[in-house]
Amino acid sequence: MSDDSSNNSTKKPASGAKTLRSQAWFGRQDKMGFYYRSFLKNSGQPQDRFDGRPVIGICNTWSELTPCNIHFRDLAEHVRRGVLDAGGYPLEFPVSSLGEVTMRPTAMLFRNLASMDVEEAIRAHPLDGVVLLMGCDKTTPALLMGAASADLPAIGVSGGPQLRGVYRGQIIGSGTNIISMSEQLRAGEVTLEQFHEAEAGMNRSSGSCMTMGTASTMASMVEALGMSLPENAAIPAVDARRNLLARLSGRRIVEMVNEDLKPSDILTRAAFENAIRALAAIGGSTNAVVHLLALAGRVGIDLTLADFDQLGRDIHCIVDLMPSGRFLMEDFYYAGGLPAVLRTLGERGLLNKDAGTVNGRSIWDNVATAPTWNPEVITPFDAPFKAEAGIAILKGNLAPDGAVIKPSAASPHLMVHTGRAVVFESVEEMHHAVNDEALDIDASCIMVLKHCGPKGYPGMAEVGNMPLPAKLLREGVRDMIRISDARMSGTAYGTVVLHVAPEATVGGPLALVKNGDLITLDVPARSLHLHVAPAELDARRAAWVAPEPHATRGYQRLYIDHVLQADRGADFDFLVGRSGSPVPRDNH
């Protein structure tokens, strides 16, 4: 049976229409054209699928090992319908899925690997554009980074946050209350039965963390950068409007292909400045710093840690969400979501209004009339939830290349503090010591954790928000200064200094800190100072021995050999920049 009404001759694009990349595979009338088309016909594809219509990849991070993305099969179907609505040819494909809750030693170790998977999959296949399905923390930056390096038209669709957690009539938030309740369990304030009961009530729908953790922060960054349709950040995963957004994104990517609107057209300096200011206004995760730095490196934007401080320093946090505040992402959506935040920034002259977005309009065109429905959740700029609470970048002799702290999640009384260092050389040593009644520590001390950076863990795990010593918890202590070269979960809170660069494993000053050294944290002055004489530091450095690498082969060895430091986004040195999507050689 013939599936073609035109004598098996592939239709040519209309006069003046763009010649699509996929036609290098499907538009040929020779042996290789037969080869490329015929195998796809085994799924019942008619000949007119190959007539010059845009071929759209649906890049799916569904996996049963990634619970946050478990609904992505359904989400992909809505994208598929949108692509078909607009006359495109959708082809779904899998890439590495990074499950934050299941992967060891840390999902961050594999972000760069997943980005390579995405980039090479896009380049190797007959695709004209791609829809990126992302949700769990590291899937978002990985897909953005890979798509930016390939630089085909791309649009992001986040999976959305879970519904509110509920425990005994109280609202609880993923991550944030895991931390608080685990500390309560250690202090003897809740029973193990209550602990298990809260587990069942916290994660009660599909979707990612419903706090303003890294997943929701990065979904907000996708929207603020202009790489998604408006409202992408906050629609709950189980809300029908999430499916509508997916379908509209499927329609829009076909138009983007026809317009040749690529990530390099959208991911400009102005877009990154908008994202940094939005990050401050929402009280977003510190993890966004390393991800935005890495993404900027892929598109050739000179973004530095100093930009986060300069652009975000005077921005008020106007979103009252856990871990910094009270509410959750479901409340944020009902209150107006990220468009309301961006409108507030724009009205204050804090938004690059002409920055482009994937729907072809400027970001200001998208948000200029966005309403705020609940001023308790999204507060007025003049009466902010927390004033001047953007990500703070610290420097000093302990962090010559920088460190980060999230003031909105920190304790005000610790923002300027000098304390005695209590040093842990490894995460294992730390976990043992915090339960040791003989540990020489009090609430005024500063906990210091080494060898948890990009090379040291490896992968820069979320262990920076160290648990407090059990004996201090029983005394009622709930926060202390903690300093490390690690990251912390975006759902976490506390006065925690992170991403110290250079890290201890490569011989940064953090490696030289000893028990009893005095350290001063001065957040208003953006300073992190170790009170040790230069001559003594020189002597310690001369005696320092670099640790043996954790791996001698495979991907982990590749990672250790090529990962950049946190202040450069912890990307691989050989992935900085982009290669585009030239059509590769034939495979036969």
Q: What is the pLDDT of residue 15?
A: 42
Residues 246-274 have a mean pLDDT of 98
Omega of the bond prior to 549 within 30 degrees of 0, cis?
Answer: no
DSSP state at residue 386? B
β-strands 399-405, 496-501: how paired? antiparallel
Q: What mean pLDDT comes out for the span 280-286? A: 96
Average pLDDT of every residue of the chain: 94
Could you tell me whether strands 129-134 and 527-530 are parallel, antiparallel, or unpaired per DSSP bridges?
A: unpaired
pLDDT confidence of 4, banded at 50, 70, 90? very low
**Using one digit for the tens of pLDDT, what is the confidence trace for 148-197?**
999 999 999 999 999 998 989 888 888 888 888 888 888 889 899 998 98
Kindly tell me if the per-residue pLDDT of 202 is higher than 50.
yes
pLDDT band at 8 (very low <50, low <70, confident <90, very high): very low
Phi/psi at 584 (5° precision): -70, 175
Q: Residue type at 163?
A: L
Q: What is the pLDDT of residues 61-88, one digit of tens each?
A: 999 999 999 999 999 999 999 999 999 9
Q: Which 3 state secondary structure label does DSSP give 468?
A: coil
Q: What are phi and psi of 253, to 5 degrees?
A: -65, -30
Report whether pLDDT(491) > 50.
yes
Say if residues 520 and 529 touch (Cβ distance below 8 Å). Answer: yes
d(CA 111, CA 145): 9
Report which DSSP code applies to 490. Answer: T
Q: Where are the alpha helices (DSSP H) in 299-371?
A: 305-312, 329-335, 337-347, 363-367
User: What is the predicted pLDDT for the residue at 17?
Assistant: 62
Is the pLDDT reported for residue 3 higher than 70? no
- The answer on pLDDT for 2 being more than 80 is no
Q: What is the largest CA-CA distance in the chain?
A: 86
Coil, helix or strand at residue 345: helix
Interval 454-468 mean pLDDT: 96
**In angstroms, rounded to a whole number, what is the distance separating the alpha carbons of residues 59 and 75?**
11
Q: Could you give the percent of the chain with pLDDT greater than 90?
A: 87
DSSP 8-state secondary structure symbol assigned to residue 523? T
pLDDT of 503 reads 98
* Cα 68 to Cα 215: distance, rounded to the nearest angstrom: 9
pLDDT above 80 for 331: yes
Pairwise CA distance, residues 523 & 408, whole Å: 12
> What's the pLDDT tens digit per position in 344-389?
999 999 999 999 999 999 999 999 999 999 999 999 999 999 998 8
Q: Where are the alpha helices (DSSP H) in 190-336?
A: 192-202, 214-225, 240-259, 263-266, 269-282, 287-298, 305-312, 329-335
pLDDT above 80 for 7: no
CB atoms within 10 A of CB 485: 33
Residue 20 pLDDT > 60: yes
- Reduced to 3 states (helix: H, G, I; strand: E, B; else coil), residue 399 is strand
How far apart are alpha carbons 206 and 235 in whole angstroms? Answer: 12
* Residue type, position 99, single letter: G
Give the C-alpha separation, 198 to 210, whole Å: 15
Cβ partners under 8 Å of residue 327, min gap 6: 171, 320, 321, 335, 376, 377
Segment 256-285 mean pLDDT: 97
Q: State the DSSP H helix or E strand holding residue 91, giving kind and residue range, or none if neither.
A: strand 89-94
Q: Read off the tokens for 412.
A: 């005000």
Half-sphere exposure of 412 (CA within 13 A, CB side): 4
481-484 vs 446-449, strand pairing mode: parallel
Q: How many helices (H) and strands (E) does the chain have?
A: 20, 14
Find out whether 222 and 156 touch, Cβ atoms under 8 Å. yes
Residue 375 DSSP symbol:
T
Question: Which of 567, 571, 548 is closest to 559 using CA atoms?
Answer: 571
- Is the backbone of residue 414 left (phi > 0), alpha (psi -120 to 50) or beta? alpha
Give 188's contacts (C-beta < 8 A, 6+ positions apart). 474
Q: Which helix (H) or strand (E) holds 73?
A: helix 72-85
pLDDT digits (tens, 9 = 90+) for 540-561: 999 999 999 889 999 999 999 9
**Cβ 319 vs Cβ 245: under 8 Å:** no
Instruction: Enumerate residues 6+ apart whose C-beta is below 8 A from 440.
Output: 422, 515
> Which tokens go with 383?
């009466």
d(CA 280, CA 391): 6
Confidence of residue 12 (pLDDT cuts 50, 70, 90): very low
Name the one residue in this structure whose structure tokens are 């609904």: 71
